[in-house]
Structure 1
Amino acid sequence: MRGAEPGQRVMFSYVDLEQRVPGDHPLRAIQALVEPVLPELSPRFAALYAESGRPSIPPEQLLRALLLQVLYTVRSERQLMEQLDYNLLFRWFVGLGMDAPVWHPTTFSKNRDRLLAGQIAEAFFAGVLRQAGSRALLSHEHFTVDGTLLEAWASQKSFRPPDAPTSGNDDDPGNPTVSFRGQRRSNATHRSVTDPEARLAKKGVGKEAKLSYQASVLLENRHGLVVATAVSAPSGTAEVEQAIELGATQAPRAGRRTLGADKGYDQRSFITGLRGLGWTPHLAQGPASILDGRTTRHAGYATSQQRRKRVEESFGWGKTVGLLRKLRHRGRELIDWIFTFTMAAYNLVRLRTLIGVGVGT
């Protein structure tokens, strides 16, 4: 029998938001991991706000909304607010009622920037790691490090000498016609007027140079969770320097640790610095490697070389899902915040998967 389309819409709904979200929805597992972390951040939140005045967006809801933006690849705050207006799943996760008004995108962005001052991303990242640690999902002995370039939100046209005129005789000042033919463009002589902290860099020989930031992660090898992050301006040594910096973030322990990495890290200065921290380098050997059989003969070396490939999964997820392929913010400090928060979201997805198959329960 053909169903008849109702002629009048129902004005009232008596179904709770909680009932509309399926019990096995992936966001429920992520919510169960996020909610214990938020009370730990309450003292940090309190320090960011005045005791009197007009109430702001609750920081807990702000953080949940930012998490949705990463998990669902929502390209802008304006689109996120649009989704929050009519997407019941988003409203449920953030904690907004059916009739609660949605914030203006500008208000949301201003409140998000406030979280930058309180190092909330770092604290949230650490809280997620504590969730993993409480389930014995973290390795404290075996790690992998790697870096990637994040394309900055700045065009090649913005990369020019500091003393160059800001505008010329062009019929379109907003998008001027620029020719780079015959010019030598380098970080020593040029800066982006859009994002002065970005630097021109390329992934390898023969690759296109783009304005970028250098980002690195330290990954534990047991379940592929990111345990530390770093962002800086790219240079010939930035990736190696970040690896040493990330290694130093781990608390000292009695036994030695191993660190897997690709052959780009097979440098004498890096190996010396790593051993000075009490780490054993399990690096892929380059043409003139100083690693010998004393390191490579052990079964653990082969295991590290196998497990180190997992680090690419975090970068792949971050760039494909987490909006890191082309940055939407400017300035190293904000990029560092966004990158750390995105890796925290990646860890949540990994934890949801691990717990879902019975690991760490």
Structure 2
Amino acid sequence: MASGDADPLMLADSATAAPVNHRDWQAAFEFATGNYSPVSQTNHVELNDNARVSASVDYSSKLASDWQAVLANRVDAGWRSPSGQYNIVDTLKQAYLSWQPSQAVIVDAGRINLREGVAAGFNPTDFFKTNAIRSVVSIDPTSLRENRQGSVMLRSQLLWTGGSMSALVSPPLQHNPSDAPFDPDFGATNQNFRYMLSETQRLVGEFAPQWLLYGGAGIAPQVGVNLTTLLGDSTVGFIEYAGGRSGELADPAQPASFHSKLATGLTHTFPNKLSVTLEYDYDGTSADRATWDALDSDPARYWQYRNTAASTQALTTRQSLFLYASWQDALVRHLDLSAMARLDLVDHSYFTWLETRYHWPRIDLAFQWQTNHGASYSNYGAQTQSQVVQALMTFYY
């Protein structure tokens, strides 16, 4: 997944403790401090230490037998040394009402963080991810999907045994995104009219493919499919694909043509609670080798392209390999270890990310280490920091 330069709000994990009993209100407070190692003190401002505090609240409650209200909001405030730079960002993730007049029908209206896809590192069918992130608090793809703002939409769902169908429309509300700290930023998520249809039907055993059709004003119809299947008692294979006519990220002026996006791989779970995912990712709208080399010789266009890729959460270059491993109760009970890496198959740069996290009933303590490797204008070599080390503590209520 494309990632921009590190900032004071970056690289702090946002895992949420699973509550034992359901409560209408849940809250979390997180404190983080880190040290950034710049790639070059000559070409970049040295960014030594930073600190961040975050607060999130989630509310879900029945207002009546067939009505439910959902609210999720997060505030991130960061400080950077030695510049003294301070910023604060509020992310309204969800705020909607849900009506279920029968067991088979659900209607939702409001701001919904719709997350589609079965892959781990890149989700071609996650059509509502564009411009959805206000602050990057972790490069973990799960965190990026969870801690983003939803889109305002009206959605209806029809459920039956072994399947479901949904239809939604998302209206235009504002034309321009906002940088104001506490703005709901409808100009980022609701610039144009959009629609999506999806259908899932169990065919054989647990094999239940999901089909999607997405489009809107200025958006040619895009077809998507999500497939998962058991390849043994402990291995799951997955394929996520989307295709349709669209422009090139590096050259929007070019006429639209058909492009494919693909994420496919395997997840294997070992008896000791270690789970490993290996995934191949392809984005036909992103830069291939020739385009990437051309961007290297035009710095202004290069950085404009990277910003576009980051905001749309596209791959920065056309192909990559993604590895994710998580080990629950590793070595001792309540200690979790996680590792993540991505290798760019176009310019051969890569990053690594490691985390160790210990759980108490209401507190998490975690340490993280990220490194970026590659040539100066490569995907990961161009990151502002070559290394980031962070410690964070999260309190759950």
TM-score between both structures, scaled by the size of structure 1: 0.23
> Higher relative CO (CA 8 A, sep ≥ 6), structure 1 or 2?
1
TM-score between both structures, scaled by the size of structure 2: 0.22
Structure having the larger proportion of residues in helix: 1
